[in-house]
Structure 1
């Protein structure tokens, strides 16, 4: 197959995905072709398709047209320069969470807890940048912990994987008052049936959090307060409708100076704060 034919095949695939309502059909068509050919997307023009490429590519395109997440099809999701293993049963990390990761890397301290770690995106990013830090990745879901352990083993084996609930009053009691930094990308989406279809492929318990999206955050703030030392800091990702509510929960929960961080589109999506001294 000549490169021109490959381009035509990808173009037709993009049309199929566009007709199915995929938000970035051209990008996804190229990524799936590159995945199948084992090359970077920038190298597609120089790739040599195998004899069964058309058939296998059509199968992948059909799966994506049925709105199976791209990351489930390829088995990985990029985050902060690495490709994390993902699949059914674990929340797919989103690019906007890299804003929270960047903030976390700018903080001081050697003891870190990631509440609701999922794939381990935040915990692993911090541990890779700070090999000397003690990082705890807390995850309740057994299925998600399977992906978490695989990613930790590959990218940051020093991370401690903890089976636990981010809202459990007895979580990590041995660390009371000793943690420097808590980060969390908890479930925070208000219950709604109106999101993109791919969102519903993520575990429901990792996405939705009550009618207002605040149930998990309300529960984890007291846990974070107990774990953090005086002056320790917390960073929370939240829905773009709940920034003021998150700030209020933190103020009422013993934290000072809440600050708002924005995602790349300018939406308020994160709140950070420091624990008040007793």
Structure 2
């Protein structure tokens, strides 16, 4: 059995709608436990209009193992969440905006598609209410009064300004996101200089240039995907082929990886503090 799950409004709380285009919100209450329950019984994939890699990284930060490079038709792998922009075959689709189809009459009624275009030719009736996208609509003029002519050029200019503002907000959000990823890449490059490490091509990503960084931290493996734009940061790391034994994923989850890193950091701190508090012997 395969279950498809929408992202925004089903997993991601999406309390402000699309907003600036970032994944800004927390998981909906029960969403993470619900996903795990589904994954115990079925293959599960996330379908979204967002970049799949962004959603996959958000899910990994919440403890899920993910893939976003699948180009097949049927998703049947349990234990790993696929993130995709494609509608793959599924037993059921879980979506907060879905309308279940029985027949076309029922579907059009449910969608409010019995609406009509108003006399101005620009406004319309939806869900039983009139919708007037511009304030000068002649339909809204008080009865008996002459409506002012609509300045359509002004309406177009206003829409262009609004679209430009949305585009600028999106660009700013993308720059902020890319900046955070760049900082992550720089910190990983530092860790790679301090621990045994290799870097190899990423076999699970179709896009050219993606790599996987493998580190040994406190005796355990930790790995991260490295984007092509950050590749130059890892010139000091030994580059190995995909089949190198040091570049084989040992099955660790994102949650287990960061739990181990946290424990290792506490252990290093305790050892350093112990050395600092141990008195040094001196000659008399």
TM-score by length of 2: 0.19
Q: Please report the TM-score for the alignment, with normalisation by the length of structure 1.
A: 0.19
Write 1 or 2 for the structure with the bigger share of helix.
Answer: 1
